[in-house]
Amino acid sequence: MSIPISTLGTPRIGPRRELKTALEAFWAGKQDETALLSTAAQLRASNWARQSLLGVTHIPSNDFSLYDQVLDMSATAGVIPRHYGWEGGPVPLSTYFAMARGSQGRNDRGHDDRDHAGCSHGGHGGGVPALEMTKWFDTNYHYMVPEFRRGQAFELASAKPIDEFREAAALGFHTHPVLIGPVTYLLLGKSKDTDLDPLALLPGLLPVYAEILRRLAAEGADWVQFDEPCLVLDLDERTRKALRHAYDVLTGAVSDLKIMIATYFGGLGDNLDLALGLPSAGLHLDLVRAPAQLRQAVERAPADKVLSLGVIDGRNVWRSDLTALLDRIEPAVAALRPNRVVLAPSCSLLHVPYDIEAESAFDPELRSWLAFAVQKIGELKTLSTALVDGRRAVADELAQSDAAAAARRISARIHDTGVAARMAELTPAMGERQHPYPLRRRAQEWLGLPPFPTTTIGSFPQTGAVRKARADHAKGLIGDADYYDFLREETRQAIAWQEKIGLDVLVHGEFERNDMVQYFGEQLAGYAFTRHGWVQSYGSRCVRPPIIYGDVSRPRAMTVEWARFAQSLTKRPVKGMLTGPVTMLQWSFVRDDLEREQVCRQIALALRDEVGDLERAGIRIIQIDEPAIREGLPLRHAEKEAYLAWAVACFRLAASGVDDATQIHTHMCYSEFNDIIHAIGGLDADVISIETARSRMELLDAFRAYRYPNEIGPGVYDIHSPRCPTVAEMRDLLARAQERIAGDQLWVNPDCGLKTRGWDEVRPALVNMVAAARILREEI
Ligand code: GLN
Ligand code: ZN
């Protein structure tokens, strides 16, 4: 007797991002389809082999994807909008990638630099546009949104789930195919016909799933995993009914195939009985985000249901305290009996990097606290053995885990008494500016800005030369002096050019920054960076989230020299540029031994010091970017306000230490504001710039309804597109903005930073933007 181990899904981009390389070579026409597919097959084979070797008993298949697993489901079920020209039959790779990237291909330059999805998505020249893309629940993974129409037909168009099961079997691996559950799939989709509710399509979709099950059973599958993370959301009665109906049909479709319903990214809460009552053979629970639901589930589960215990964190990189875990799960396993238990990570391992062993240059102590996918499987194996053969059978493993946990609890590199002292001294007054906005506005008149002031969001093009200089500097090919000379020259030219075309508030251009989070993280204590810790963000795009392992503090000023240098070149105000505390948190792996809220406060305090130093250095306009505020929203409605309250408090802590006469900006992109507008108001930034060009200013409706009192720069230039916006277009957008917001509150700026564009695109666009603002001034 042993307790089965499942992973629910594994990283698939390849330990050295082999899939990324193959995809980009294929898209660039440098490799043919056969080569791409062969790389993909090798990655699948080594994923199966690795898991088998590590002792995984329930090895997943169909968790691999050439781009995205939701897109795979659309291809599988024939959900392919007409304009992609598919006429039935197997879905060609060209159709699949057209749905993923648009038929001309998005301007994907294939570089590695983290390009946050917040600002990286959407541009495609001509041809057929890609499907919409959006965040997978509260992760930084993005999926392609299924697009439904009235009269939507479904058919088994791609046999991928069956093919991959067969492929694994041929290699000697018996796998558990993974499918996105039908209800989650429909809920994630969007209807192009306003009166069509995607859930109404369920009866048409279920036969495709049933057909897949029949074919898998015929191939010898015994378990199939259906991912239904929608079960951790607030569900209405209609959705609950849909779930019951779906699994009644699917469990009835094939008698000898067992279904495991996987839920993750949170607790089932009020859906627990619904989930336990579905007629599936098994239910997977996220016991990291919601440990308390274990007891309830054990008590309330029907006597024959298998419970998959998601006890190892699939969303974070920390090594587990295995002894503490065993204390928690032993009673549950005893109550259920081992034959009703599976051990698993909380969710698919897709969201963590491959293997900490690859980080050879990493500090050994820090490394001993971490577990990536490979180590997490090892932990599951240890737990499984301990539960069956007793803890003594894994005494060494447990001793190591205990030692790591003990060291981490007291390590001086994590616990900084200086930070603790400052945190204890925080006062509410530190989150308040000296005076309310109307008075600050007057105090800021000395800046002498015209009506409709023009500015940009921070970065200027990261040209080939800029990237090359950075890479050469990192490799030691050019020394500090030459590198900084180069950066100063770029900055000098950027300042001179901005002055020449008549922008009002200038930026230094961010040429020295690799990434808006990494640049700051590298200068803060408490942050670590990996070399190979890549995690898929979407398609071939990967990110390497920094790891916040300890108390965060700022050993020295981070941006002051660059800001001071830029300001020394001009009489116009230069805007200081910082990444906000919530974004610094949201785009990192965060320590799990301190509340996120507290970690965020520490970052905010470090940034507050930076803001103060900038002000003292004569930088009197300071922008604190918070593009990730909205994506931190919890999945459950009841938890949203608590999150927003601390997120806003952290921003204010970072921003409020300045004089009334210093102007604080913030920036947000790729965001809707309706449900968070009160929090945006709560930030009380003197000026906020937002991405609005593509929505043609409709995002401003929320600001109008809220009677937002401070200044706003609604983006008039869609920086995702290589197209140059005309003066007339931008004037028109500004007219639409003025239907919503008073002219004297408006700034004129692009949607976001310009780092992904070329100077040839940026120059005429900004010249036109300044011209549009001048016309508005003349009209006053
Ligand atoms: N200041 C940053 C830039 O211009 C903002 C980036 C962002 O919003 N994602 O690049
Ligand atoms: Zn932005």
pLDDT tens across 336-386, in order? Answer: 998 999 999 999 999 999 999 999 988 999 999 999 999 999 999 999 999
- Please tell me if the CB atom of residue 700 comes closer than 6 angstroms to any atom of ligand 1: no
Antiparallel, parallel or unpaired: β 589-590 and 547-553: parallel
- Best probe residue, ligand 1, of 456, 505, 631, 667 (max atoms within 8 Å of C-beta): 667
Pocket of ligand 1 contains residue 116 by CB under 6 Å: yes
Report whether residue 624 contacts ligand 1, using a CB cutoff of 6 Å.
no
Residue 753 Cα to ligand 1 midpoint, Å, equals 5
Number of the ligand 1 atom closest to the C-alpha atom of 118: 9
pLDDT at 113: 34
CA count, 13 A, side-chain hemisphere, 150? 4
Q: Please report which ligand is nearest the Cα atom of 117.
A: 1
Decide if 599 contacts 647 (C-beta within 8 A): no
Q: 515, 517, 625: which to mutate for ligand 1, most atoms within 8 A of CB?
A: 625
Q: Which atom of ligand 1 is nearest to the CA of 459?
A: 4
Q: 776 among the known binding-site residues?
A: no
Return d(Cα 348, Cα 642) in angstroms, integer: 27
Check the annotation: does 17 bind a ligand: yes
Asked if pLDDT for residue 123 goes beyond 70, the answer is no
457 is in an annotated binding site: yes
Enter the tokens of residue 227: 């991912």
Strand-pair partners of 536 = 542
Q: How far is CA 351 from CA 265, 377, 545, in A?
A: 11, 14, 11
**Where does the pLDDT of residue 104 fall: very low under 50, low under 70, confident under 90, or very high at 90 and above?**
low
Please give the helix or strand (H or E) that residue 136 lies within, else none.
none
Mean pLDDT for all residues in the chain: 95
Residue 548 has pLDDT above 60, yes or no: yes
Name the closest ligand to CA 692: 2
**Cα 408 from Cα 446, distance rounded (Å):** 51
Percentage of the chain modeled with pLDDT above 70: 97
Burial of residue 495 (CB within 10 Å: 0-12, 13-18, 19+) is buried
Ligand 1: atom nearest CA of 753 is 4
CB count within 10 Å of CB 192 equals 12
Distance (Å) from CA 461 to ligand 2 centroid? 14
| Out of 106-120, 140-154, 367-381, least confident range | 106-120
Ligand with smallest separation from the Cα of 762: 1
CA 640 to centroid of ligand 1, rounded, Å: 25
In 370-479, which residue ranges form alpha helices assigned H by DSSP? 373-389, 395-410, 417-424, 437-443, 464-475
Tell me the three state secondary structure of residue 161: helix
* 121 pLDDT tier (thresholds 50, 70, 90): very low
**Helix, strand, coil percentages for the chain (3-state, nearest 5):** 45, 15, 40
CB of 458 shorter than 6 A to ligand 1: yes
Which atom of ligand 1 is least distant from the CA of 667?
8
Q: Looking at residue 195, what is its pLDDT?
A: 87
pLDDT score of 129: 86
408 belongs to an annotated ligand binding site:
no
307, 3, 56, 182: CA torsion to nearest 10: -20
Q: Please work out whether the CB of residue 459 comes within 6 Å of at least one atom of ligand 1.
A: yes
Q: 9 CB less than 6 Å from ligand 1? A: no
What atom of ligand 1 comes closest to residue 669's alpha carbon?
Answer: 8
Ligand whose nearest atom lies closest to the CA of 510 = 1
3-state class (DSSP) for residue 212: helix
The answer to whether the CB of 580 is under 6 A from ligand 1 is no
Q: Say how far apart CA 722 and CA 124 lie, in whole Å.
A: 8
669 labeled binding residue: yes
Pairing of strands 147-148, 258-262: unpaired
Ligand nearest to the CA of 623: 1
When pLDDT is averaged across residues 694-717 and rounded to a whole number, the result is 96
Q: Is 755 in the pocket of ligand 1 (CB under 6 A)?
A: yes
**Pocket lining: 667 vs ligand 1, CB cutoff 6 Å:** yes
Indicate the pTM of the whole model: 0.95
Q: What is the pLDDT of residues 667-679, one digit of tens each?
A: 998 778 999 999 9
Q: Which ligand 1 atom minimizes the distance to the CA of 627?
A: 8
Query: Ligand 1: which residue has its CA nearest to atom 3?
Result: 753
Measured in angstroms, how far is the CA atom of residue 606 from the centroid of ligand 1? 19
Query: Would the annotation count 778 as a binding residue?
Result: no
Determine the atom of ligand 1 nearest the C-alpha atom of 457. 4
Distance CA 50, CA 47 (A): 5
Ligand 1 and 715: CB distance under 6 A? no
In DSSP terms, 574 is beta-bridged to 506
pLDDT band at 426 (very low <50, low <70, confident <90, very high): very high
CA 355 to chain centre: 20
- Asked if 720 is an active-site residue, the reply is yes
Among 113, 114, 506, 510, residue to substitute to test ligand 1 (most atoms within 8 Å of Cβ): 510
| 622 CB within 6 A, ligand 1 | no
Name the one residue in this structure whose structure tokens are 């105000």.
Answer: 573
446 CA → ligand 2 middle, Å:
28
Environment class of residue 55 by beta-carbon count within 10 Å: exposed (0-12), middle (13-18) or buried (19+)?
A: middle
Tokens 């168009």 -> residue: 157
Asked if residue 749 has its Cβ within 6 Å of ligand 1, the reply is: no
pLDDT at 103: 81
| CB-ligand 1 contact for 106 (6 Å cutoff) | no
Q: How far is the CA of 689 from the centre of ligand 2 (A)?
A: 9
652 is annotated as contributing to ligand binding: no
Q: Residue 412 is which amino acid?
A: A
- Cβ(752) – ligand 1 distance below 6 Å: yes
Give the pLDDT confidence of 238-296 residue by residue, as tens digits: 999 999 999 999 999 998 899 999 999 999 999 999 999 999 999 999 999 999 999 99
Contact residues for 448 (Cβ-Cβ < 8 A; gap 6+) = none
Say if ligand 1 is within 6 A of residue 625 CB: yes
pLDDT given at position 110? 36
Tell me, in angstroms, the distance from the centre of ligand 2 to residue 752's CA. 4
Closest-lying ligand to the alpha carbon of 577? 1
Question: Is the pLDDT score of 434 beyond 70?
Answer: yes
Residue of 116, 284, 473, 720 marked active site? 720
Residue having the nearest C-alpha atom to atom 10 of ligand 1: 753
- pLDDT of 102 reads 87
Residue 120 has pLDDT above 70, yes or no: no
CA–centroid distance, 643 to ligand 1, in Å, is 23
Which amino acid is present at 718? Answer: D
Residue 461, pLDDT score: 97
Beta strands in 324-397 (DSSP E): 341-345
Q: Name residue 407's amino acid.
A: A
Residue 106 is predicted with a pLDDT of 44
**How confident is the model at residue 722, as a pLDDT?**
84
State in Å: Cα 294 to ligand 2 middle: 41
Residue 457 CA, ligand 1 centroid: distance in Å: 6
Predicted confidence (pLDDT) at residue 653 exceeds the cutoff of 70: yes
Q: Interhelix angle for 69-76 vs 93-101, to 10°? A: 130
